[in-house]
Structure 1
Amino acid sequence: MSSLLVLAIVVAIGVVAFLIGRQRAAAHENGTVKPHSRAHYHGWWAFLLAVLPALLLLAVWTIGSSVYLDRHIHAALPERTADSKVASEALDVSLVKSLAKGIRRLDANTLPASFAELQPLLAAKGVALATDTQDYMIPIAVEANKVQDRLGLFGAVITLALAIAGAFYALRQIAPRARARNNVERLMLWGLLAASTIAILTTIGIVLSMLFQTITFFESVSPMSFFFGTVWDPRFADAGSGGSQGQFGLIPLLAGTLYIAAVALLVAVPVGLMSAVYMAEYASPKVRGVVKPALELLAGIPTIVYGIFAVVTLGPFLRDLSAALTGGSPFIQGQSIFTAGLVMGIMLIPVVSSLSDDIITAVPRAMRDGSLGLGATRSETIKRVILPAALPGIVGAILLTASRAIGETMIVVLAAGVAANLTVNPFEAMTTITVKIVNQLTGDLEFNSPQTLVAFALGLTLFALTLVMNIVALYIVRKYREQYE
């Protein structure tokens, strides 16, 4: 029995328990005894007791069954010899599992003993298997399907029995003074706590996954040469040598990341902030109803489209324009910091504008009216009252924009190139940390060389950079919030 079918049946049992529980609780509200909880709380308590323990058991059983099946297949495989045709035991298990899924579409009683004869039958069913599959895997796959069916049936029976038992237990607890509301609220509180814990643990897991690989990378490359090196030359061709001849200087990538993000913010923040002020304070409702959705529509354009626009239209235009101004060779390259920053800034204008507009409109109307009542003009009210009051939120909006600019990849690849240069000329090409992370992890590479492990060091550096930005922004927000509240 499939897990999806078991899940549907468990939810159906929970719904029936909810309806019966609510009906029985409503029947107890006869006016003689004041009920502690409303009828729907009793229904929800019955639903939760029927569904949650059963789903938890189903999840644990599914994971445990998968582990047990892998061990069963591994134990059934013959002993490996020096002339084994499959590269590893893990690949053996994977091939058997793939074969078992394909065999499910065929009649197990009429299976051929040869994979050469079985392959056309599977191909007719739309199943494609690796050519490394061997004949001895066929009976193992058939037995694996039987084991999986037995485990699935046993797990389904236990899960459904637990769901019914939970519903029956909850229904028997229904009484006028039963504290169903407290039970439901306590369970929901634990659910919210679990959700927040999962989010925290996920972040910790991401950091640890990068940290361990980064430590392995620094066992081969000196941290000083990484953090303070000015040359980026990982040399994939020399990966077999352990990276001894490669150079992993972070400075060119970090400089390119901050440089391009700064140019983008110089474009996006003034334009976006002024457009937000106009829409919040000057625009009529009719104009605002047209302009704001149009700006937000720009935020939905994929970044690859902006990158194509930069490399096909804006980059050549700026190059030809600079050539026409000098009358000779252009001083703006087709791929440059200025081109990438300008296009990225255009992409980020809707982010700054939309967030700042929501923040400005959230400023209490009494502050505007008080300023205007004291004789201040509208522009003075905006400069001296509204913007200072909204400054903490605006700083947060700028931080979000900066984080998105730092994490952008496609626009940089197409508009600024992949050259790890170290320059102050905005009309030359540079690249960013995110681009190099993609480059280092692209291709058929093993995670045992500095050329690949450096991507994790770059990712951890980018994480630390974003964390510092958040801390600085939090300090600014708290400082001005204390001043204006």
Structure 2
Amino acid sequence: MQTANLFPLVLILAAVAYWLAFQRSRAVAAPLGGVRHLKALPTHYAARAALWSAIPGLIVLALWTGFEGKVIQGIVMGSLPQDMWPDSPGKASLLLSQISNVASGSLDPDLASEPIAKAAALLKTLREQSSLFMTILVILITVLGAAFAWFRVAPHINARNSVETTLRRIFFVCAALAVLITLGIVFSVILETVRFFGRVPITDFLFGTSWSPQTALRADQVGADGAFGVIPLFTGTLLISAIALLVAVPTGLLSAIYLSEYAGKKVRSTIKPLLELLAGIPTVVYGFFAALTVAPFIRDLAESIGLEASSQSALAAGLVMGIMIIPFVSSLSDDVINAVPQSLRDGSLALGATQSETMKKVIFPAALPGIMGGILLAASRAIGETMIVVMAAGLAANLTANPLDSVTTVTVQIATLLVGDQEFDSAKTLSAFALGMLLFIVTLALNVLALKIVRKYREQYE
């Protein structure tokens, strides 16, 4: 049985264990005078049975799925003649791919050599046996866990403590897993970044003004060493993000103020969902709109007043990106403003302040931390956007502050460098990890700075 079918089967068995344990707890409590004579509620016994049946089965399923491929590949590769053993990971991957294609029927076995055909037959047999053994083992463990929990339903056993302890451990594992995944991502990026700086000096990367990672095939060709100066990329990223925030922050913030303080219920119930619809539009649609409508309009408008504008410009990408992130500012700011206690409004109005003065002097400072959070979220969204920049601003790494010129961003270059089959031993590919690490550091610094600003103003209301 496949993993996709085995997983819901384990959940179904856990649900059956829940029902059986629930019925048994009520049957055990009936001669004693009711469930009040049990150490826990019937739902606690039932929940314990479900947990004890599902968790071991799912753990075995996850471990089997995680190690099955490696073990089978090792056995299959060991069955090949010694002269066919690959001497590099790349050749091993190609050989395994060929064996898998023959085993799946994508490649005719008659077209492959005899060792490959035998290895493919072995691979197919091992997969079938592994699937059968995994199904039997997972179902057996799940049923045994349910049976053990069913027999442990007794009046003197407090199932509530067991359930709470198990859930507490599950929550801890989930939290630890999230932290470990984050650390794994960071350390993997750091390691690849260190490899990159072993090939390219860090000073050239941080202070270089030219970005051309395309290395030549021969040393005598032009640009054989490449150019990895990151300044043009960050200049383009900051330029487009600044334009987007100049559009989104005033529009979104003023919209939130109007909807929360001035608009009627009917107007609010109509406008707010329409604004939030902007967040649901795919970014590729925004990219088409920017490339086919906004960018030509800006170019024609600039030419009409005597300015030179590129057909792909930072201004076009920034304007459309600003429209896209308006809901991040308006929706969060509106929720934060509505969360300000009504007593602050009433007190300000009772002292003779107008509604606008109340908004400026009382509500806005009180809601500033939440508003800053919305702006930071919008800024992160703008910095991380790729599709709009590719379609509207281009891929040219130009060092310019002119919004009418074509520029590119860090995220676009990361996506470009990692597209297609790449070897992770060249400076070109490793530069993507260096870009990601630098972007992570800059974003973290911006968040720390914003938190300090928020803390400074929040102290007035503590």
Please give the TM-score of this superposition, normalised by the length of structure 1: 0.88
1:130 — aligned with what? Answer: none
Residue 352 of structure 1: how far off its partner (Å)? 0.9
1:101 — aligned with what? Answer: 104
Contact 1:210–1:460 under 8 Å retained in 2? yes
Separation in structure 2 between the aligned mates of residue 345 and residue 140 of structure 1, nearest angstrom: 56
Decide whether aligned partners of structure 1 residues 403 and 99 sit closer, same or farther in structure 2, where only a CA change above 3 A counts. Answer: same
2:21 — aligned with what? Answer: 21
Separation in structure 1 between the aligned mates of residue 334 and residue 309 of structure 2, nearest angstrom: 35
1:340 — aligned with what? Answer: 317
Cα deviation digits, residues 63-114 of structure 1 (max 9, x gap): 3332221111111112336999x982332223223322339x9xxxxxx9x5
1:128 — aligned with what? Answer: none
Decide whether aligned partners of structure 1 residues 180 and 403 sit closer, same or farther in structure 2, where only a CA change above 3 A counts. Answer: same
Separation in structure 2 between the aligned mates of residue 4 and residue 301 of structure 1, nearest angstrom: 31
| Identity in percent | 46
Contact 1:213–1:453 under 8 Å retained in 2? yes
Matched, 1:196 2:199: no
Decide whether aligned partners of structure 1 residues 79 and 341 sit closer, same or farther in structure 2, where only a CA change above 3 A counts. Answer: same
Decide whether aligned partners of structure 1 residues 409 and 90 sit closer, same or farther in structure 2, where only a CA change above 3 A counts. Answer: closer
Matched, 1:310 2:313: no
Matched, 1:176 2:155: yes
**Which shifted more, 148-157 or 264-273?**
148-157
Decide whether aligned partners of structure 1 residues 172 and 223 sit closer, same or farther in structure 2, where only a CA change above 3 A counts. Answer: same
Cα deviation digits, residues 357-381 of structure 1 (max 9, x gap): 1111111122112211222111111
Aligned residue type for 1:24: R
Decide whether aligned partners of structure 1 residues 184 and 241 sit closer, same or farther in structure 2, where only a CA change above 3 A counts. Answer: farther
State the SS of the aligned residue for 2:37: coil
| Count of paired positions | 457
Aligned residue type for 1:389: A
Q: 1:449 aligns with which of 421, 426, 442?
A: 426
Residue 155 of structure 1: how far off its partner (Å)? 3.0
2:75 — aligned with what? Answer: 72
Decide whether aligned partners of structure 1 residues 458 and 313 sit closer, same or farther in structure 2, where only a CA change above 3 A counts. Answer: same
Q: 2:206 aligns with which of 224, 227, 230?
A: 227
2:236 — aligned with what? Answer: 256
Separation in structure 1 between the aligned mates of residue 24 and residue 454 of structure 2, nearest angstrom: 53
State the SS of the aligned residue for 1:237: coil
Residue 202 of structure 1: how far off its partner (Å)? 1.5
Separation in structure 2 between the aligned mates of residue 444 and residue 156 of structure 1, nearest angstrom: 36
Residue 158 of structure 1: how far off its partner (Å)? 2.6
Separation in structure 1 between the aligned mates of residue 438 and residue 356 of structure 2, nearest angstrom: 42
Residue 156 of structure 1: how far off its partner (Å)? 2.6
Separation in structure 2 between the aligned mates of residue 236 and residue 217 of structure 1, nearest angstrom: 14
Structure 2, unaligned runs of 5 or more: none
Decide whether aligned partners of structure 1 residues 35 and 483 sit closer, same or farther in structure 2, where only a CA change above 3 A counts. Answer: farther
Separation in structure 2 between the aligned mates of residue 79 and residue 421 of structure 1, nearest angstrom: 53
Residue 383 of structure 1: how far off its partner (Å)? 0.6
Separation in structure 1 between the aligned mates of residue 396 and residue 179 of structure 2, nearest angstrom: 36
Cα deviation digits, residues 393-413 of structure 1 (max 9, x gap): 000100001111111112222
Separation in structure 1 between the aligned mates of residue 219 and residue 323 of structure 2, nearest angstrom: 43
1:290 — aligned with what? Answer: 270
Cα deviation digits, residues 200-233 of structure 1 (max 9, x gap): 1111121122211111111111001100111112
1:280 — aligned with what? Answer: 260
Contact 2:235–2:401 under 8 Å retained in 1? no
Residue 239 of structure 1: how far off its partner (Å)? 7.6
Separation in structure 2 between the aligned mates of residue 239 and residue 339 of structure 1, nearest angstrom: 39
Decide whether aligned partners of structure 1 residues 28 and 376 sit closer, same or farther in structure 2, where only a CA change above 3 A counts. Answer: farther
1:54 — aligned with what? Answer: 57
Matched, 1:398 2:375: yes
